Structure 1
């Protein structure tokens, strides 16, 4: 395992930054999570109507007379001034479940053991798309890899990617190890780019512990997946447009046209939004998660992963208090036995695994 940069934040601060960043980014994007309705244009129109551009804090409450802006029902627990601890969300549930997996079975866990923990700890109705299909297949007696392929039209959606963080947090500076662990988890429910997305995200977070810049982390993460897969080509496309000096909005317009038709939960267009947020955010925590959520599509999932990467890059101590204090060091979770857990305790347990 490669050590973290001695001149930068320590391991514990970076891991806590990852947890806090994931939860804050998730909550920032949660009220506008529905990419077919909450387009990038509608999100910015909402923010302008509430005088909240540039976006530097959690989303504001809906403006008076803003009937055209239909936020998710949970918005009252996720907007600025109303947050009292984290909202429950699968983007955080899977990080918790992944921690429990590694504590229970170690890094030699099997895909079958991932499925067993789902059945034991995760309510069926708190799973979605590919995860729900895999859960149903598990309950019906199927075993991996059939759990991912039988009656599952969501095999390349974003679900496996949102489960990958803990494998990066526990593999600091070792992106190949992180990708290997993420792959073993992902094949329970995903195939193809769905699996590559999880491997890329885990490697990205592992690389962020030692990378000098977001671009270095992005480039390193690309080394763990096939260069010819569509996900890798899309990441490289965003990086090349950024390097050529194209603006953030123009980059998303260009790549959006090239990935049109895949749907707002497919992993490939979401990775484009995530990559753009990381590169144009230039390592600044607030700018990174704000641009990522403003990019639309699966806003809470993208915000969560962007926050995790940015939090690892800068460390918890450098995350502005307006993002962390409202969380009150508590998570709400559907994972049995973890509702109300302290974020700091989850991070400390993650550090123990990372240090082994």
Structure 2
């Protein structure tokens, strides 16, 4: 039983009831619930009737889970930790200069990787096949630079609206993007709250610093709930069908930067950010991303990074299952991508699980090379700028600043735009220096200010 076409606009807007219902049906089915009767009722309801549609969204929470659900996916931090085996050990980064260089490389690598993916960030349209066709026409396959612009643009291709500032030869400072806004905000939050950070602090900062039009999917749903006076944990759960999508995963990196070499400390702290807007695999995505970058500071290879980060993900979750699947794959990157698309392509192009799978593949098949990893994850499609940022962050750390590609880094001009109030035109090297000052000064009880 499928919803009628009036319920799908393709915009995933938390302020549009028909979008909420469409995505909530999808979310419930992906997590093993029977919603067929509510779908039948929805098809007898006018999609423009806000009150009736929102009532259906709310009643989805009463749906029964079908027999045979095999996953264990808790939301509370203590419950998450109980599912884990041995936690990844912390490995100290002993050289201060090395830590500073890697943190700087992480910021540069993340911001450049994000900009590489931005012109093709529309996973329903820019599939991996269309990206390959376009790059082949542009004599730019495999991708190892910013996406080129073809003039005239061939029929069947349309870059996203940011292309005048994110394509090859047009990058003059980093474009604004939420994949950059959230790391800047995380740094500010940690400078303000340290390890005492809680979801309520994150929510207060959103309302103070973010315009609602610059947050999306789960974050916009959570924002609306905050404005309406709801509190944690209802902020993440009420009328939020995007609660396991990638929004939290893009917010985890800075928690890893400040806990370099300690994946569990990074994951544990990032939970406080993720739990405001996400549940289940949405939370695990941010914890995993934080652990990835933390592990990269002391790992010897991308595979070691992925294996150490996996230890913070509940082992009976769908996210852990997907990452293990990719770790077990053999053959070429193209082979791996095809398997991932077959197994996980049923998720939205903005979901956590499928995007984490292609991030994993890009890292494993990167050969430790920044350009190879970022190029491959962007060519994989789905959430290209978010994944380019995550892979760029990890491989930036593994590479160090000296081995980052000058033709991607120089056009950034050491600055980035931001939608955060008071943080526009942030200086990238300043973000890195502030992160270095913070790294190693966090404790269970808060910031340690002594040198």
Q: With structure 2 as the length reference, what TM-score do the two structures score?
A: 0.77
Of 317, 324, 330, 2:409 maps to 324
- Partner of residue 180, structure 1: 268
Question: Would you say 1:298 and 2:383 are equivalent positions?
Answer: yes
Question: Would you say 1:338 and 2:427 are equivalent positions?
Answer: no
Question: Would you say 1:54 and 2:139 are equivalent positions?
Answer: no
CA RMSD of aligned residues (A): 1.3
- Partner of residue 349, structure 1: 434
Of 75, 78, 85, 2:166 maps to 78
How many pairs align?
Answer: 352
Deviates more, 1:23-32 or 1:255-264: 255-264
- Partner of residue 144, structure 1: 232
Question: Would you say 1:16 and 2:104 are equivalent positions?
Answer: yes
- Partner of residue 29, structure 1: 117
Deviations 1:84-138 (A, max 9, x none): 1000000000000000100111121111001000111111100000000000101
- Partner of residue 228, structure 1: 316
In 2, Cα distance between the equivalents of 1:82 and 1:9? 33
- Would the aligned equivalents of 1:49 and 1:63 in 2 still touch at CA under 8 Å? no
- Partner of residue 214, structure 2: 126
Deviates more, 1:57-66 or 1:205-214: 57-66
- Partner of residue 335, structure 2: 250
Divergent runs of 4+, >3 A: none
Query: Quick one: higher RCO (CA 8 Å, sep 6+), 1 or 2?
Result: 1
Q: Which stretches in structure 1 are left out of the alignment for 5+ residues?
A: none
Question: Would you say 1:213 and 2:213 are equivalent positions?
Answer: no
Q: Which stretches in structure 2 are left out of the alignment for 5+ residues?
A: 1-89, 442-451
**1:341: how far off?**
1.3
- Partner of residue 356, structure 2: 271
**Structure whose CA Rg is larger:** 2
In 1, Cα distance between the equivalents of 2:222 and 2:388? 25
In 2, Cα distance between the equivalents of 1:255 and 1:73? 28
In 2, Cα distance between the equivalents of 1:314 and 1:3? 18
**1:277: how far off?**
0.6
